[in-house]
Structure 1
Amino acid sequence: MGCLLRLAIVLLLAEGTMVNFRVLSRAMSSVARAFEGHGVVPDVVPKAPTTDIKVKYPSGVEVNLGNELTPTQVKDVPTVTWNAKPESYYVLAMTDPDAPSRKEPKFREWHHWLVGNIPGNNVAAGETLSQYVGSGPPPETGLHRYVFLVYEQPGKLTFDEPRLTNRSGDNRGGFSIAKFAAKYNLGDPIEGNFYQAEFDDYVPILYKQLGG
C-alpha cells in the first residue's frame, strides 16, 4: 500500500509540473505572438521577451499586450513589477516607435521613461536617466505603440546618458532601446508589455508641460 501511495503522489506531482509548464508555455507564446503581431518585433527589439511585466496606472488601468488606453489614463507614473532577483540590477524602459506616426516614424523611437541600476524591482530606488512622460500622440496620427521593456544588467553600471526631466521633450527622439542595450551589454529583454493610444484632450496639456 505504501508503494502505491508513493507512486500516486509522484504521478500527481508530475502532472502538476506538466500543467504549470503548459501554463508558462502559453504565457510565453502569447507575449511573443503579441510583440510580433503588432510589429514591436522588429520595430523596437529583434527578439520578444518571454514573459510580460505588470504595469498598473494610478487611474486603475493596466497594460495588457496591445490593449488601447488613453493619454488621460496613462498620464501619471505607473507601478511596474516583474520577476526580479533581489541581488540583481535592472533597466526599465518605455519607448514609442511611432513618432510622429506609425506610417512616418521619422523620430523613432521617442522614449518616455528610462531607469537603470534598479535593485530587484524597486524602480523608485533606481537611477532615473529620463523622467516619466505620458503618451502624447499628435492628432490624426492614429494609434501609437508604447512599449515597456526590462533588461537584467550584468552588474551595477555607470551610465553616461544625459539626465532628462519631464519638463522638456529634448533628446528623447531618435532613441533606440536595442542600441542602448547593446551599448551596455544588456542582452535581450527578459520581460515586456505594451499598450496603444491615440490623441485625446490631455495631449495639449502634456505639450505645454514639455515646453511645446
Structure 2
Amino acid sequence: MPSNDSVKIALALIERDKSKILGLKVGTHTNVQPGTFIPKADAQSPPALTFGPLSPEATYMVVALDIDAPFPSFGVLGPILHWIQPDLKATPVDGPPSSPQQYSLSSTTPFVANYIGPAPPPGSGPHRYVFFLYEQPPSFEGHRFAPPNGQKLSNGRRIRYSLDEWEEEARLERVLAVNYFKSN
C-alpha cells in the first residue's frame, strides 16, 4: 500500500480546526459536512467547491481520492484517484456580512485526472471520498501530467495512488482545506 501520511494529516486537520473544511456541493446536497452520506447516483458530477479565506490572485488545485477501495476493511487497491483539477481560481461569494469571506473555485482549463464518481463494488460498505485543496505552485504546468489530447486517465494510473508522491512531484505545500463524503 502506498504511503499516504498526507491523507491522515489532512483528515486530522478538520477534526481539530473546523475552519479548514472545504465547502462541497454535491448534486443537490449543499454544505456537505465531513462524513455525510451521499448516494452514488447523486455524486457522478464534480462537486462545486467553496472555501475562504483565499487570495483571488492565487491559483488552486483539488485532488480527490477514494481512501477505502476496494473495501473499507481491505484497502489493497486504494487509495483510488478520483480527480485532479488544477488552475482553480477564487471568486468571492456573497454571504452574511458577519461571516468570513467565502470564495467559489472553478477552472476552465483541462483536468490532470478527469473526475469519476463513486462506484464501490457490490457488497462493500460506504467508501470515503476525500477532497484536498492546495495552493498551486506558480510553476505548475498541468499539461505535463495530463493524458495527451484530453483523454481520460486510465484506471491503471488511478489505483494505489500516493498523495504523498503527488505532493512531491507537483511541489505542493500543505493542504489548505479538506472534506469528505461517504457513498456506496
What is the TM-score of this pair, normalised by structure 1?
Answer: 0.66
Structure 1 residue runs of 5 or longer lacking an equivalent are 1-40, 199-212
Question: Which residue is 1:157 aligned to?
Answer: 140
Q: 1:133 aligns with which of 116, 122, 128?
A: 116
CA distance in 1, matches of 2:109, 2:23: 17
In the TM superposition, residue 175 of structure 1 has moved relative to its aligned partner by 1.1
Structure 2 residue runs of 5 or longer lacking an equivalent are 91-103
Q: 2:9 aligns with which of 46, 50, 69?
A: 46
Question: 1:129–1:54: structure 2 CA closer, same or farther, 3 Å change rule?
Answer: same
CA distance in 2, matches of 1:43, 1:155: 21
Amino acid at match of 2:28: S
Runs of 4+ in 1 over 6 A off after TM superposition: none
Q: Does 1:172 align with 2:158?
A: yes
SS of 1:63 mapped into structure 2: coil
In terms of Rg, which structure is larger?
Answer: 1
- Point out the structure with the larger helix share: 1
Amino acid at match of 1:154: P
CA distance in 2, matches of 1:69, 1:165: 28
CA distance in 2, matches of 1:61, 1:86: 23
Aligned residues: 158
Identity %: 22
Question: 1:177–1:89: structure 2 CA closer, same or farther, 3 Å change rule?
Answer: same
CA distance in 1, matches of 2:6, 2:126: 15
- Point out the structure with the larger strand share: 2
In the TM superposition, residue 187 of structure 1 has moved relative to its aligned partner by 1.6
SS of 1:128 mapped into structure 2: coil
Summarize the alignment of residues 188-207 of structure 1 with structure 2, pairs less than 5 Å apart. 188-198=174-184
Question: Which residue is 1:11 aligned to?
Answer: none
What are the Cα deviations for residues 3-48 of structure 1, in whole angstroms up to 9, with x where unaligned? Answer: xxxxxxxxxxxxxxxxxxxxxxxxxxxxxxxxxxxxxx95824342
What are the Cα deviations for residues 162-189 of structure 1, in whole angstroms up to 9, with x where unaligned? Answer: 4375585341112122221122221221
Question: Which residue is 1:64 aligned to?
Answer: 33
Summarize the alignment of residues 44-123 of structure 1 with structure 2, pairs less than 5 Å apart. 44-47=7-10, 48=13, 50=17, 51-83=20-52, 84-120=54-90, 121-123=104-106
What is the alpha-carbon root mean square deviation over aligned residues?
Answer: 2.4
Amino acid at match of 1:58: G
CA distance in 2, matches of 1:43, 1:88: 22
